[in-house]
Structure 1
Amino acid sequence: MTHNVLVVDDEPKLCDLLASALSQNGITVFTAGNGLHALKVLECEDIDLVISDWRMPGMDGPQLLAEIKSRFPQLPVIVMTAYSTVKNAVQSMRNGAFDYIAKPFDIDELDITVSKALQFRDILKDNQRMRAELDEHQQIDSLVGDSPSFRRVLHAIDSVRESNATILLTGESGTGKEMVARAIHKHGNRADKPFVAVNCAAIPEGLLESEMFGHRKGAFTGAVADRIGRFQQADKGTLFLDEIGEMPLALQAKILRALQERVIEPVGDPRERKVDVRVIAATNKNLLDAVANKEFREDLYYRLNVFPIPLPALRERVEDIAPLARHFANTLGAAAGKRFSGFSAAALQAMANYSWPGNIRELQNCVERATIVASQAVIEEEDLPAYLFASRPADSGVLIENNGVPADLEAALAEVEKAYILAALQQSNGVQAAAAQLIGISERSFWYRLKKLGIHVDKIVR
């Protein structure tokens, strides 16, 4: 396997010496005279290992190491210096260096250290490739179902996948919006280009502009080097903007300009950069309501809504629950070394009766738990989590009169409300803020309902 190594040192003779020594082992060597030059090489070339001097003018070795660990976390770095001290060695290793060598060094010693670092890099690459293949396989194959509502989604994917139109995916949390986005990219005309996903709600507002458009060195405190943003990372490919409804208003205008004019401006750099990006946005919000409430720009909404694809909730495609459950059981069981032949009729009926507020994500978690506890090839009703049965009338203690009318409406509604809250807590692993978001209410309202219904979160069975 051919490897690319980047040598960073302000002494040209040492760079030439290392290049000559390493190239004898079939290694392609790139050189840089300082840290900033090194970062530019890393942005353009597929580098497997960096060998960097400790002391350099401008951006020194520790600063370059920090920037590499931030931007290329799996890239090994060997630090070298003539100022060999235990303090420097310990500091570099603590900061993420793969190894440390001191000048003057023995070539054989360098070869051994480089060989170990490249083996480490190969293992990381193989693991990353296998995870990507597995994720891709699961993502594409998870588009399972034959219900009318889901067939409409598949038809929409087939219609738009070869175009460059901006797409807006809408639907409740857990309905598979990212899976659909990846399927559109994978089967479209940009399949061999990058797919870059950004969760707009997960990035602090103060960093979001830099994350999207990049920045120049010195643009703000902590900007120690130039950095490209997600739009440039996705150039010629697909940019997936998840939870677009959470994007701050101040940034929405810049996103709109990027979509309309296909140009961006990194933070601190007045020069425009052209980008060729296919944008797929997703939200679980009603963006028209957000527009009416002045929380979302109307012009950006219509720019995003060129080709809308609404994703149905799982309760709206009940006939797909059984094939999805079997798919997850087969996939998750194989990963755990188990083989399952299916679900019992009672287990399938229990899953069909449940409302699935967390949608496909919740179903996958449910099946994963069942594959862990199941002792037979057939997954039985008792292998399913208890919260699936919390809303059954027979278990609730609510009296039902003729024609299914409850004798006590308040009690019946309380039981239904309790079942939804318990399910949301189970889905969120007991995190109350996440559970509140899952069922679409505020945290304050959620806490009030916990108290009213006598639910103790620390007693929820995981």
Structure 2
Amino acid sequence: MTHNVLVVDDEPKLCDLLASALSQNDIAVFTAGNGLHALKVLESEDIDLVISDWRMPGMDGPQLLAEIKNRYPQLPVIVMTAYSTVKNAVQSMRNGAFDYIAKPFDIDELDITVSKALQFRDILKDNLRMRAELDEHQQIDSLVGDSPSFRRVLSAIDSVRESNATILLTGESGTGKEMVARAIHKHGNRADKPFVAVNCAAIPEGLLESEMFGHRKGAFTGAVADRVGRFQQADKGTLFLDEIGEMPLALQAKILRALQERIIEPVGDPRERKVDVRVIAATNKNLLDAVANKEFREDLYYRLNVFPIPLPALRERVEDIAPLARHFAHTLGAAAGKRFSGFSAEALQAMARYSWPGNIRELQNCVERATIVASGAEIEEQDLPAYLFASQPTQPGAQVAEGSVPADLEAALAEVEKAYILAALAQSNGVQAAAAQLIGISERSFWYRLKKLGIHVDKIVR
């Protein structure tokens, strides 16, 4: 990533020297001869860092620092001075400077200070971006429901939100695990700090360690610059490890150390770094089964399972389908410029009869489609997608007839799971990626289920 750095000094030779030194590190350098000129540059360019002299004619360093903190409070400033007294350094830091360097300065020292400031800037930018995305989707991601099973989830959130304990969210794909994680963060004691989400199944295995812990420039092929890992990005905040059950065994030991000792070691850098991160992990796998199969570390499981919160499937909270559907219709309809009064009784009955294997995510997609095709103020049964009315595999949430309780619940659930997977494979003509998407799980998780259930996939499943 290229960063833009503004150097402010009334000595042109020093500006040229700094520009030459910094440009070696994939940095675009802008220069200004005084504070007023610097403010004009800031108005026209997207600057990531300001390096300013302390004494300059007209607007000096302290005055420029005050003006930058007023106009651009998130922009880091490094102050440099040939009059390097403790008083000047302390005063600049009190006034909001990120750091200071003394003239004459060492180039290596300058590189380290600039690198830290730019990493700080990147973290702030990522945090602002994620907060903006969260605000944009806040209406859709609201916690909606009043069923007994969902009230237990809300009670658990309230109990743990002010704690720094590690949390393990379990439940099927689409049950809202990231939504719950964000709610815990937003209403907890780290709400004003970063929330960083990582999908452990979506990142190639070879890049996971670098993604988690960062790396130094040159640590491996393609590492053209230093990179801050997700643990450091989430420092003082919350790190959400989604699909933790898909994490390779080789990396699990390093994650365990990071959780136990709050210490990380970037790839290619022997220096350890302390981090203060509250971890929320999530999985749709049975981790105890994975431990028994030597696919997940037992010590990591118990380190994650400090405060478990199981999330119910949508079929287990049928009474919440109607309020969730109304909520989605209101928010999605408003985004599309439509206003709906609600759903017809027939439409609500059809949604209540369906088993929702994709859970809340599938319901949201269903309602979004209905808001597009609906022509009236009320969403009717015919506005719902046809698959809601097609014959389905055995409904996991269907009423169990008296005397038909299975002798082996695990085996019965496995048969239901197998039926859904075979139906998805048939619909996708054997394309596993498409079948996984149909039932709302990752490709890696889908492959794991095929292996567990002994399903052999031909090119086309008929």
TM-score normalised to structure 1 length: 0.66
How far residue 224 of structure 1 moved from its aligned partner, in angstroms, is 1.9
SS at match of 2:169: strand
Q: How far off is 1:271 after superposition?
A: 1.1
Secondary structure (helix, strand or coil) at the match of 1:395 reads: coil
TM-fit CA distance, 1:206: 0.8
Q: Deviations over 1:254-283 (max 9, x none)?
A: 000000000001111111100000000000
1:218 Cα deviation from its structure 2 partner: 1.6
How far the C-alpha of 1:100 sits from its partner, in A, is: 31
Does structure 2 conserve the Cα–Cα contact (< 8 Å) formed by 1:343 and 1:380?
yes
1:58 & 1:227 partners in 2: Cα distance?
38
Partner deviation per Cα, 1:135-157 (whole Å, 9 max, x = no partner): 46536752100000000000000
Which shows bigger deviation, 200-209 or 13-22?
13-22
- Summarize deviations over 1:410-432 as a string: whole Å, max 9, x none: 99999999994698579999964
Residues 271/450 of structure 1: CA separation in 2 closer, same or farther (3 Å cut): closer
Residues 279 and 450 of structure 1, relative CA distance in 2, 3 Å threshold: closer
Give the Å deviation of 1:433. 2.6
> Contact 1:390–1:396 at 8 Å: present in 2 too?
no
1:316-339 Cα shifts (integer Å, max 9, x gaps): 000000000000000100000000
Indicate if the aligned counterparts of 1:36 and 1:225 stay in contact, CA closer than 8 A.
no
Other-structure match for 2:420: 420
Q: Is the 8 A contact 2:79 2:97 kept in 1?
A: yes
> Structure 2 CA distance, aligned partners of 1:108 and 1:238?
33
Residues 210-260 of structure 1, C-alpha deviations (whole Å, 9 max, x = no match): 110111122111112221111000000000000100111011000000000
Which 4+ residue blocks in structure 1 deviate beyond 3 angstroms?
1-131, 133-137, 392-432, 436-462
Distance 2:459 2:93 in 1: 43
CA distance in structure 2 between the aligned counterparts of 1:30 and 1:187, rounded to whole angstroms: 41
Tell me, in whole angstroms, the C-alpha distance in 2 between the residues paired with 1:203 and 1:69.
Answer: 37
1: distance between equivalents of 2:112 and 2:276? 43
Please say which of residues 121-130 and 272-281 is displaced more in the overlay: 121-130
Q: Which range is displaced more, 448-457 or 125-134?
A: 448-457
The SS at the match of 1:239 is strand
CA distance in structure 2 between the partners assigned to 1:54 and 1:211 by the alignment: 38
- Write the deviation string for residues 13-55 of structure 1: whole angstroms up to 9, x where unpaired: 3837999999999999987999999999999999459999999
Corresponding position of 1:214 = 214
Asked if the contact 2:325/2:364 (under 8 Å) is kept, the reply is yes
Once residues 127 and 136 of structure 2 are traced to their aligned partners in structure 1, the CA distance between those partners, rounded to angstroms, is 14
Q: 2 CA distance for matches of 1:255 and 1:15?
A: 44
Change (3 A) 1:106 1:275: closer
Are residue 119 (structure 1) and residue 119 (structure 2) matched? yes
Secondary structure at the residue paired with 2:140? helix
Q: Is the Cα–Cα contact under 8 Å of residues 358 and 440 in structure 2 kept in the other structure?
A: no
Instruction: Assess if the C-alpha contact under 8 Å between 1:5 and 1:49 holds in 2.
Output: yes
Aligned counterparts of 2:17 and 2:345: Cα–Cα separation in 1: 71
Q: Distance in 2 between matches of 1:238 and 1:458?
A: 42
Larger displacement relative to structure 2 (394-403 or 11-20): 394-403
Does the 8 Å contact 2:79/2:92 carry over to 1? yes
Structure 2 CA distance for aligned equivalents of residues 193 and 238 of structure 1: 8
Check the 8 A contact 1:62/1:92 in 2, yes or no: yes
Conservation of the 8 A alpha-carbon contact between 2:7 and 2:15: yes
Q: How big is each residue's C-alpha offset from its partner over 1:192-223, in whole Å with a ceiling of 9 and x where there is no partner?
A: 00000001111111111011011112211111
Against the structure 1 CA distance between its residues 161 and 105, is the aligned structure 2 distance closer, same or farther, given a 3 Å change threshold?
closer
Residues 15 and 31, structure 1, Cα contact 8 Å, conserved in 2: yes
Moved more, 336-345 or 423-432: 423-432
The question of whether the paired residues in 2 share the 8 Å contact of 1:321 and 1:352 is answered with yes
Structure 1 residues 91 and 186: CA distance shift in structure 2, 3 A: closer
Q: Report the CA distance shift for 1:383/1:123 in structure 2 as closer, same or farther (over 3 A).
A: farther
Note the alpha carbon deviations across 1:346-380, whole angstroms, 9 max, x for none: 00000000000000000000000000000001000
User: Would you say the 8 A contact 2:173–2:440 is kept in 1?
Assistant: no
* Matched residue SS, 2:394: helix
Q: Output one character per residue of 1:138-191: Cα deviation in whole Å (capped at 9) or x when no partner.
A: 367521000000000000000000000000000000000000000000000000
CA contact (8 A) 2:430 2:457 kept: yes
Q: Secondary structure of the equivalent of 1:352?
A: helix
Identity rate, percent = 94
TM (norm. structure 2) is 0.66
CA distance in 1, matches of 2:182, 2:412: 42
Tell me which moved more, 220-229 or 403-412: 403-412
Q: Report the CA distance shift for 1:324/1:410 in structure 2 as closer, same or farther (over 3 A).
A: closer
C-alpha contact (below 8 Å) 1:200/1:242 kept by paired residues: yes
The gaps in structure 2 that reach 5 residues or longer are none
SS at match of 1:139: coil
**Structure 1 stretch displaced more, 108-117 or 197-206:** 108-117
Q: Deviations over 1:281-303 (max 9, x none)?
A: 00000000000000000000000
